[in-house]
Amino acid sequence: MSIFGFSHPAAGAFSHGPARSSALLLARLSVAMDPPVPTADPNPGWTRAPWSGVVQPPASASSAAMMPPPPPRPRAPSAGDEEVHGRFDRAALFQPADISAYFDESADVRVGGGDVFRVRTARGSTRGRGRASIAVLCLHGCALSGASFALFARRLAERGGENFRVDAMDLRGHGSTRTADDRDLSLDTMAKDVADVCARLYRDDDDDDDATNDDGNTNVQVVLVGHSMGGAVAARVAQLDLVRNLRGVVVIDVVEGTALASVRGEAMRAAVASRAGKTFATIGDAVEWCVRVARTTSNVESARVSTAHALVPLRGDAGGDGREGGDGARGWTWRVDVAKTSAHWEGWYEGMGERFLRARCAKLLVLAGTDRLDDVLTVAQMQGKFQTVLFPNAGHAVHEDEPERCAEAVLGFAARYASP
């Protein structure tokens, strides 16, 4: 698997470097099992410094990090299954799912010079508009869309209750978002996009045109959650303090050292080439390819919901886009040509570790394994500068593979640091 969520036979997850020393590994594991209390405030400006290691939410909320590992998720179907178990119903298994079952609202947020960003919202257990005091904004990885957070958002909103809203936006050049220049995926451009969208979604009483945000609340506390490329964007937004009332940033399975090693490797180029020009007769075929070939996620339900929103009809098709669960076009291809984003790869990840560490809000790093940590973050973690939670049974798309447990971890983090 690559940092873009698809794999190639020659590509290992994150292209790991040489094995670390046993002493360093033991030190890292000891942090997760028995986190030390820092002697100095690692986040200046806070009234209470966080401790390092595994997240410990309030007693009222359980922590995914403290739960025993779940039973292994049934693996995705493979070609061999047909020989052993007989033919399974592909059409039913990989049928695209209606995203409205996971998000309560979908809106187009217009900012600046007319750029329009698609934002989907999952609300608390009341499943209706309320006075949410905590907003979690999710930023997806390259070539994906906000729909990749569907299962995670539904679970987090329901567990968070009426005080929570979970928003997932389609970043520039992705999903249903449309901008004047969809090709400008530079880090600072996307960070500004996020800041502009937040300013519209979470308005406060200092704004001229509206005294309150759309929930009727003047003091929404914001937590950013970013996966892969979205994690780099979230870290940049947090470093520059672009969002008012930003209380926390969560980065999912991306760190500078391993990301740079991956994008510079031949295995990455092979993985990208395997995706280039790919077309599908139906959305269901694309779902199957993501699960069985690219292995974007092991969670078939998540793939059924999210895959359609990374596709566009083939040029010349007159049918409806079918992305809300139908299949109106005669053929489909990826909206994002990943190869054309390569000019931005190093800009996303170079210096990301320092950007993440300089953020003055609470910080949580969600990883699929301890080998994801690079040297800078390993040292910083041992110094108590951020928190870590591990999901060793998940792949790169942790929030898709383990949506319930990932939501529990973020809930505990948000409840601790974003409660008004």
Structure tokens that stand for 120 in this block: 């989907």
Active site residue 8: no
CA 231 to chain centroid:
7
Give the DSSP letter of residue 123. E
Q: Which segments of 147-255 does DSSP mark as H helices, in order? A: 150-160, 187-201, 229-240
The residue assigned the tokens 């399974």 is 88
Region of residue 85 (left: phi > 0; alpha: psi -120 to 50; beta: else): alpha
Active site residue 16: no
Residue carrying structure tokens 């257990």: 125
Among the options 140, 227, 396, 399, which is catalytic?
Answer: 396
Tell me the C-alpha distance between 136 and 354, whole Å. Answer: 23
Residue among 253, 285, 321, 374 flagged as catalytic: 253
Q: Which of 360, 146, 349 is nearest to 247 (CA)?
A: 360
Count other C-beta atoms under 10 Å from residue 203's C-beta: 21
Closest C-alpha among 353, 388, 383 to residue 367: 388
Q: Is 373 helix (H, G, I), strand (E, B) or coil?
A: coil
- Give whole-number Cα distances, 364 to 50, 196, 292, 370, 417, in Å: 10, 23, 31, 14, 11
Active site residue 228: yes
Nearest CA to 170 out of 103, 215, 223 is that of 103
Q: What is the largest CA-CA distance in the chain?
A: 65
Active-site residue, selected from the candidate residues 228, 262, 298, 306: 228
Task: For 307-344, give one letter per residue: b (16+ CB within 10 A) or e.
Answer: bbbbbebeeeeeeebbbebebebebbbbbbbbeebeeb
**β-strands 134-139, 164-169: how paired?**
parallel
DSSP state of 372: G
Q: Which residues are catalytic?
A: 228, 253, 396
